[in-house]
Amino acid sequence: MSTITSEKIRDGLKEVQNAICKFLIEETSQNYNEDLWDYHKGKGGGITRVWEGNNDENFYLQKELSSDASVDRLEKAGVNFSFIEGTNMPSSAVEQLKIAPDTAFIATGVSLVIHPYSPWIPTIHMNVRYFEAGDRWWFGGGVDLTPVYPQKDKVIQFHKTLKALCDRHHMPELKISYTQGKEECDKYFYLKHRDECRGVGGLFFDQLTSANIADRDRIWDFIHDMGMTFIQLYKPFLEKSIQLLPYTKEQREFQLYRRSRYVEFNLLFDRGTKFGIMSEGRTESILMSLPAVAKWKYNFKPTPNTPESELTEYYLKPKNWVDL
d(CA 90, CA 207): 18
Distances (CA, A) of 15 to 11, 22, 60, 79, 90: 6, 11, 34, 12, 27
pLDDT in tens, 223-255: 999 999 999 999 999 999 999 898 988 999 999
pLDDT at residue 279, rounded to an integer: 65
Res 3: pLDDT: 86
Q: Please indicate, yes or no, if residue 1 is contained in any of the structural domains.
A: no
Domain that holds residue 239: 6-323
Q: In this structure, is residue 286 part of a structural domain?
A: yes
Q: Please state the length of the chain.
A: 324
Angle between helices 152-168 and 215-234 (to 10 degrees): 160
In this structure, is residue 278 part of a structural domain? yes
pLDDT 10s digits, 33-43: 999 999 888 89
Least confident range from 70-79, 167-176, 312-321: namely 70-79
Total structural domains within the chain? 1
Q: Are the C-beta atoms of 155 and 315 separated by less than 8 Å?
A: yes
201: domain CATH number is: 3.40.1500.10
Q: What is the pLDDT of residues 96-136, one digit of tens each?
A: 677 888 889 999 999 999 999 999 999 999 999 999 998 88
Cα distance between residue 154 and residue 294, in whole Å: 25
The more confident residue out of 275 and 214 is: 214
Q: Is residue 267 part of a domain?
A: yes
Q: Could you tell me if residue 47 is inside a domain?
A: yes
Instruction: State the pLDDT at residue 63.
Output: 46
Q: Which of 45-49, 202-206, 277-281 is the least confident region?
A: 277-281
**pLDDT band at 165, cuts 50/70/90?**
very high
Q: What is the pTM of this model?
A: 0.94
Q: What is the sign, positive or negative, of the torsion defined by CA atoms of 206, 276, 110, 43?
A: negative
The Cα-based distances of 161 to 16, 136, 224, 226 in angstroms read 18, 31, 15, 10
Answer yes or no: is 217 within a domain: yes
**pLDDT the model gives residue 70:** 66
DSSP H stretches of helix in the chain: 6-28, 57-60, 91-97, 152-168, 178-188, 215-234, 240-243, 249-268, 271-278, 283-286, 307-310
Percentage, residues of the chain above pLDDT 70:
93
User: Catalytic positions, please?
Assistant: 125
Within a domain: 114: yes
Backbone angles phi, psi at 278, to 5 degrees: -65, -30
Cβ(128)–Cβ(16) under 8 Å? Answer: yes
* SS3 state of residue 316: coil
